[in-house]
Structure 1
Amino acid sequence: MHTSLSFTPPDLQEARLGTVRHRYVFYIPGYDPEARTRYRLLFVREWARYTKRFGGGKRDISCARLSQDGLVQSWTVSAPEQGEGAETRYDVLLWDDLVARDFARSRFVSVALLVVGTLQTILNGLMFRFYRLNWKYGNVILYPFVMVILLAALSVAIGLTVHAYLGDRFGHSLGLPLWLSLPLGVVAGIVWIKAIEAFLNRVFFWQLLNDWVFNWQHGQGWRPDYERRLDAFAEHVLSSLAARAEAGQPTDEVMIVGHSSGGLTAAEVAARVLARDPSIGASGPNLSLATLGSGLPLVAMQPAAARLRAEIARLVTERRVVWCDFHAPQDWMNFPGFNPQHDLKLRLCGQPVANPLVRSARFRDLLCPETYERVRFRPFRMHFQFLLANERPGAYDFFAMTLGPRRLREQVLAPVACHEPEPAVPL
């Protein structure tokens, strides 16, 4: 069985004429405890690399400004002095405080949640569905669980060895009584885990563990803090657009962009925005939604996530928004070719399918061969390629999408750099 990496919905919103001169981007990062210090620097660095390689005219990028509630980091990018391009307001919607709170909880609680969530996912067959969609992501999901088993086994071995050495087990042992040697063995089994904390962080153990626990909790409906943040984000989008319109500031395109776990967040925010304002996307600026390397199936496929699937179903049939879902087979942490219309049990009630446009970013084409060989086995580096400057022109272009003169729909349907269709992915 194969799945195509591209899909164009039959009832896609009609094209709007005209060049984009003013764009408002609402960017939502993934499950990242350092979001407020990472993405402004990443944007500026990669834009400098992009202009060095491809030109694009000189632009001014303002300093970042943090909102009073600490939830939004904003900056502006001027239109180019020469050539075409949009003046862009860029708002990063922050939820890294929720992520940091997850990282700060007891390690024992995090591990317990991981074990329960993973076992449930295996027993209900969902893990096998993840593997069918992308076996590499399946390995990433299981990695913290397997590591917990290995670390627990090593801790028990170390504890038993210390207990045996301190007790009356060997001729050269200290001969301590059981009530003392056994607790010391347990302490030794725990202390060595703390001693390798730096190593565990380098291999992204806690990052991936907490990420998976969050997705599982969200799918179970156990993250009211995150739900409140979604509502706050939707309110920020609507109030910002209203203030901009009241001030007479023109806007040609509104883009909600999400990367990684933020891809799901972006879809949820877009659904709330559309539900709260029946005029958005129907009149005034058009609304575009771009999800980049999204892990949406991790939550949406969970049996308890009925509300989320209902929101996705509304997006799939909603013609007021153009939704483009970008994946890449070379990225370990996404689901190439995933299509909510086909892969989720959505209730569309006979309505025509308007979303999403599904496309492959084709990282192999965007990177020089030497770079590709160097990073192909570095999952996080490859995953972040969605936000980095291309090394070669390609159909996927993050900066053309967010700063260029064309709307997302046209950027996707008629990219400047065209390629032959990418082969289907075996399932």
Structure 2
Amino acid sequence: MSAAPMQVRRRKVFYIPGYDPFPARRYRELYRTEGAKQAEISGYGLHVEAAAGDGPYGWHASGLIDDTRVTADFEVLLWSDIVRGSMSNSIPATYWQLIRTSWIYIASGTLRRLAVLPKGPLAAALYPIGVLILQLFAALLIAHLVGWVFGTLFTGVVLWAFGDGALLRWGASVLYWAPFFVIAVLVLRWFKSQDRRIYAYYLMHDFAFSAGHNGASPPALQTRMDAFRAQIAASLRADYDEILVVGHSSGAHLAVSILADILRETPDRPARPALSFLTLGHVVPMVSFLPDAWQLRADLQFLSERDDIVWVDVTAQGDGCAFALCDPVGVSGVATRDKQWPLVFSAQFSRTLSDARWKELRRKYFRLHFQYLCAFDRPLDYDYFQITAGPLTLGTRYANRAPSPSRIDVAVSKYTSVAP
């Protein structure tokens, strides 16, 4: 796997976030603050400023790396409104999602196949199920105790005043069940209000969204992906040296399908600008292993065979929310003899972060899922800021990079069809 050496002076970067309800400015601020740290650590120049105008959200970066000045235009391809819409379910609807999503993964055999891969993402999928069930039991138990106290007090008063009778039985029942339902609802609402720290509802909505159409793209998301495809395709006709598409987390499998469609539509695309694809912390098997994900599997297979793209996949075993070192094409069972991509290697958090920094972050699982976009205080060959604002194309930078020997590229998925 190699690419012709190519220098970059102007680059366009499209960033596709994962299942994230937050506004795009979060990513600009993350790039600005973490880029400044990395530039100071690594000894290069990096300047970031907001993009002007009312167009798509983005920013500009100017890098001075290896004595070469590079400008990069960033654009965030937003689908956070779709994410927020999918997270607006009521508490009963969320529990229905729990039942339906669990059934989809268990009945299809997908859960058993996912268990063969690194356990982090599976644990992340089971976590909201376990926590929501525990919350329900806790709410019912508290409601039962409150109802029992009310019913017991009423029974004592009525026995003292009137003796046994129909009034006693009726009143005790009312004073048990009335507070029971009220308290259960209040406790569940309190748990939901704490989800900014617990993430049970957030993760449940995430996995329910992935499984909602058995692996097929929801119509609203497909429409948005079509718009993304048009934006990226237009940039391929502009005066850039490299178009770099970055797919993070769930954004990785969205980007796979978007780029596959672009290359199908333009089979004889000029060599310039170079088209590069970087996937970070992917969770592709959560979707590609599902029965109706045949289109995603076809896109994975198609993209893996192309000469006119460079695809690099970076994960890390310290990221408990990603399928670390899992070749998304190989484990999905669609690798062919003509497979070239992706180049799979590890960001090696335990080596690229200092002992003190690693100790600080190693239990912060959601923070580590974003570490690919952040600074490393002991960087090796992965540097997000040099990739996005440096003078080398992705293909040139990693032309001689060997894949990680511990990568997993054997077929694991039960479903490997690439057509309906």
Task: State the TM-score bracket (shorter-chain normalisation).
Answer: 0.7 to 0.9
Partner Cα distance (2:103, 2:153) in 1? 37
Tell me which of 301, 317, 324 is aligned to 1:336.
324
> Looking at CA atoms only, which structure, 1 or 2, has the larger radius of gyration?
2
Aligned to 1:161, what secondary structure does the other structure show? helix
Residue 321 (structure 2) pairs with residue 299 (structure 1) = no
Partner Cα distance (1:36, 1:52) in 2? 25
The 1:254–1:330 alpha-carbon spacing in structure 2 relative to 1, beyond 3 Å, is same
2:349 corresponds in structure 1 to 363
Contact 2:121 2:283 in 1 (8 A): no
The 1:148–1:154 alpha-carbon spacing in structure 2 relative to 1, beyond 3 Å, is same
Which stretch of structure 1 is more off in the superposition, 289-298 or 206-215? Answer: 206-215
Residue 59 (structure 2) pairs with residue 64 (structure 1) = no
Give the counterpart letter for 1:295 in structure 2: V
The 1:140–1:49 alpha-carbon spacing in structure 2 relative to 1, beyond 3 Å, is same
The 1:347–1:292 alpha-carbon spacing in structure 2 relative to 1, beyond 3 Å, is closer
1:202 corresponds in structure 2 to 197
- Residue 422 (structure 1) shift: 6.4
The 1:81–1:166 alpha-carbon spacing in structure 2 relative to 1, beyond 3 Å, is closer
Q: Deviations over 1:375-427 (max 9, x none)?
A: 11110111111000111121211111111111112322446xx9x966578x9
Tell me which of 383, 394, 416 is aligned to 2:380.
394
Q: Deviations over 1:31-55 (max 9, x none)?
A: 1111323101101001111112112
Partner Cα distance (1:25, 1:81) in 2? 17
Partner Cα distance (2:182, 2:217) in 1? 33
Contact 1:290 1:323 in 2 (8 A): yes
Tell me which of 215, 226, 229 is aligned to 2:224.
229
Partner Cα distance (2:365, 2:211) in 1? 21
Give the counterpart letter for 1:279 in structure 2: D
Aligned to 1:89, what secondary structure does the other structure show? strand
Matched-pair identity in %? 29
**1:347-358 mapped onto 2 (5 Å cutoff):** 348=336, 352-358=338-344
- Residue 168 (structure 1) shift: 4.5
CA RMSD of aligned residues (A): 2.5
The 1:222–1:173 alpha-carbon spacing in structure 2 relative to 1, beyond 3 Å, is farther
1:268 corresponds in structure 2 to 257
Contact 1:29 1:35 in 2 (8 A): no
- Residue 234 (structure 1) shift: 0.3
Q: Deviations over 1:89-139 (max 9, x none)?
A: 111111111111112222321221122111321233211222221112211
2:390 corresponds in structure 1 to 404
Partner Cα distance (2:345, 2:308) in 1? 20
1:257 corresponds in structure 2 to 246
**1:3-22 mapped onto 2 (5 Å cutoff):** 12=1, 14-22=2-10
2:234 corresponds in structure 1 to 239
5+ residue gaps, structure 1:
1-11, 245-249
TM-score scaled by structure 2? 0.88
Aligned to 2:49, what secondary structure does the other structure show? coil
Give the counterpart letter for 2:150 in structure 1: L
TM-score scaled by structure 1? 0.86
2:305 corresponds in structure 1 to 317
1:346 corresponds in structure 2 to 334
Contact 1:218 1:299 in 2 (8 A): no
1:164 corresponds in structure 2 to 148
Partner Cα distance (2:390, 2:157) in 1? 73
Partner Cα distance (2:200, 2:42) in 1? 37
Contact 1:141 1:212 in 2 (8 A): yes
Give the counterpart letter for 2:179 in structure 1: L
2:11 corresponds in structure 1 to 23
Residue 52 (structure 2) pairs with residue 101 (structure 1) = no
Q: Deviations over 1:9-38 (max 9, x none)?
A: xxx3x4223311111111111111113231
- Residue 226 (structure 1) shift: 0.6
Q: Deviations over 1:313-337 (max 9, x none)?
A: 1111111111111111111011122
Partner Cα distance (1:83, 1:173) in 2? 87
- Residue 340 (structure 1) shift: 3.4
Tell me which of 99, 122, 126 is aligned to 1:142.
126
Contact 1:231 1:272 in 2 (8 A): no
Tell me which of 238, 248, 271 is aligned to 1:283.
271
5+ residue gaps, structure 2:
159-167, 411-420
Contact 1:164 1:170 in 2 (8 A): no
1:189 corresponds in structure 2 to 184
Q: Deviations over 1:162-209 (max 9, x none)?
A: 222222478657864424531320121111121233433202112211
Partner Cα distance (2:366, 2:388) in 1? 22
Partner Cα distance (1:18, 1:276) in 2? 25
Contact 1:215 1:298 in 2 (8 A): yes
Aligned to 1:78, what secondary structure does the other structure show? strand
Contact 1:75 1:90 in 2 (8 A): yes
Give the counterpart letter for 1:320 in structure 2: D
Give the counterpart letter for 1:277 in structure 2: T
The 1:102–1:347 alpha-carbon spacing in structure 2 relative to 1, beyond 3 Å, is same
Give the counterpart letter for 2:355 in structure 1: P
Contact 1:310 1:347 in 2 (8 A): no
2:165 corresponds in structure 1 to none
Contact 1:20 1:85 in 2 (8 A): no
Aligned to 1:80, what secondary structure does the other structure show? strand
Contact 1:323 1:356 in 2 (8 A): yes
1:379 corresponds in structure 2 to 365
Partner Cα distance (1:356, 1:405) in 2? 22
Contact 1:27 1:257 in 2 (8 A): yes
Q: Deviations over 1:233-268 (max 9, x none)?
A: 0011112333x2xxxxx3111111011111112212
Give the counterpart letter for 1:41 in structure 2: E
